[in-house]
Amino acid sequence: MPRSKGAAGASALSGAGRETESATASAFSLGNAARGAEGTEAEAASKLAPGLYLVATPIGNLADVTLRALDVLRRADAVLCEDTRVTAKLLARYGIAATTQPYHDHNAERVRPAILARLKAGAAVALVSDAGTPLVSDPGYKLVRAALAEGIAVTVVPGASAALTALLGSGLPPDRFLFAGFLPPKAAARQRTLDEIKDVATTLIFYESAPRLGESLADMAAILGPRPAAVARELTKLHEEVRRDNLAALAEHYSVAGPPKGELVVVVGPPMPATATDAELDRALGAALARKSLREAVDEVAAVTGARRRQVYARALALKGGR
Ligand code: SAM
């Protein structure tokens, strides 16, 4: 996929997330050294306090794991994994010989009772997903609920998440945001969801798959209107790219370029503040209505002024009605 080709005004950053093998190779021994400041070898080898540990893992670059995450994974009695083969790579990288066990959407109901029994008996059990923070569009929520209901301690070991990583790099307002997870794959349900959140006055964050990116962006452009946005792809990995443009231009870019490779997050800026006054809208509408139908005039004035379509429509009706 042509990484830097795009509509005018788009910006793309590539290759910012390169992994450095030497940095990762030394990170776990660094973990032992770092603990030295607060504890002893004996303490390091001691058992973890009983309970469920929700452990964030990297979203691509294996160096983005915390020292505490490695320590918990090493000392847990068992590590629940979305895919044990994926977690095995992380564990191998840091020389951790953990007992892993699958915990994913397809076996969770069946294996949860045994996990809870083990936790109640005093085990320290870690839960990881394939990448990033467990429970965030990943399995684990029901296990946490069940553990809390049984009075089992739940500890979060924080770390990487694609949502926040994308938000930070998007250049869009980070102070208030709505994380909307994955949009429904079917067009009608996706459009309904976008319609429900279109007036939320915050930045929006969506996970999306590469094959569905084009249609999702087209729906976002149509329903959320002219907003700045970013497609953040392959974050922390070799081919990291953040493409920033307005929704319509991004939709156009991917309809021409085709689906990109890899994993991605879509970040959309908040609705434009409706800064135009009624008098300004009336002036713009007066000119537009002389040339166009009411609907076309409303669309034009909303696009030009950034005012909410609903507000422009109300003014247009008032003008037509002579108010
Ligand atoms: N729990 C994970 C987290 O905290 O980020 C997310 C898991 S969700 C099943 C996977 C989705 O996260 C992908 O489809 C993509 O939207 C996003 N994602 C994960 N890693 C990513 C990366 N390196 N770059 C961009 N998006 C990523």
* CATH code assigned at 223: 3.30.950.10
Split into its structural domains, the chain has a count of 3
Single residue among 126, 160, 194 that ends a domain in this structure = 160
Residue 23 within a domain: no
Question: Are 152 and 54 found together in one domain?
Answer: yes
Tell me the C-alpha to C-alpha distance, in Å, between residue 223 and each of 105, 191, 226, 283: 32, 7, 9, 26
Q: Is residue 33 part of a domain?
A: no
pLDDT for 174 beyond 90: yes
To test ligand 1's pocket by mutation, which of 207, 216, 268 has the most ligand atoms within 8 angstroms of CB?
207
Query: What is the C-alpha separation between 96 and 126, in angstroms, rounded?
Result: 13
pLDDT at residue 44 in the model: 52
Higher pLDDT residue, 91 or 292?
A: 91
Sheet arrangement for strand 177-182: 177-182, 203-208, 264-268, 228-233, 241-246
CA of 264 to the centre of ligand 1 (A): 7
- CATH number at 89 reads 3.40.1010.10
Task: Say if residue 212 is in the same domain as residue 294.
Answer: no
261-318 pLDDT, tens digit per residue, is: 999 999 999 997 666 788 878 988 988 898 889 998 898 778 767 788 888 999 999 9
Q: Rounded to an integer, what is the distance from CA 138 to the centroid of its chain? A: 11
Domain that holds residue 316: 278-320
pLDDT in tens, 208-266: 999 999 999 999 999 999 899 999 999 999 999 999 999 999 999 999 999 999 999 99
Is 299 found in the same domain as 253?
Answer: no
Same domain, 57 and 154: yes
CA–CA separation, 221 vs 231, rounded Å? 13
Atom of ligand 1 nearest to the CA of 209: 14
**How many angstroms separate the CA atoms of 197 and 33, rounded?**
48
Q: Tell me: the pLDDT tens digits for 264-274?
A: 999 999 997 66
How many angstroms separate the alpha carbon of residue 135 from the centre of ligand 1?
A: 12
Question: Using CB atoms within 10 A of its CB, is residue 9 exposed (0-12), middle (13-18) or buried (19+)?
Answer: exposed
Q: How far is the CA of 319 from the centre of ligand 1 (A)?
A: 48
Residues sharing a CB contact under 8 Å with residue 241, sequence separation 6 or more, in sequence order: 3, 12, 13, 14, 231, 232, 233, 234, 260
> Do residues 127 and 183 share a domain?
no
Token code pair at residue 25: 């190779």
Residue 204, domain member (yes or no): yes
Looking at residue 132, what DSSP letter applies?
B
Residue-level pLDDT at 304: 65
CA of 164 to the centre of ligand 1 (A): 10
One domain for residues 282 and 233: no
In a domain, 105, yes or no: yes
**Ligand 1 pocket by Cβ (under 6 Å):** 59-60, 129, 131-133, 136-138, 161-163, 207-209, 232-237, 263-265
Residues 62 and 113 in one domain: yes
pLDDT in tens, 108-167: 999 999 999 999 999 999 999 999 999 999 999 999 999 999 999 999 999 999 999 999
Strand duo 228-233 + 264-268: pairing: antiparallel
Q: Can you tell me which atom of ligand 1 is nearest the CA of 206?
A: 16
Q: How far apart are CA 283 and CA 128, in angstroms?
A: 58
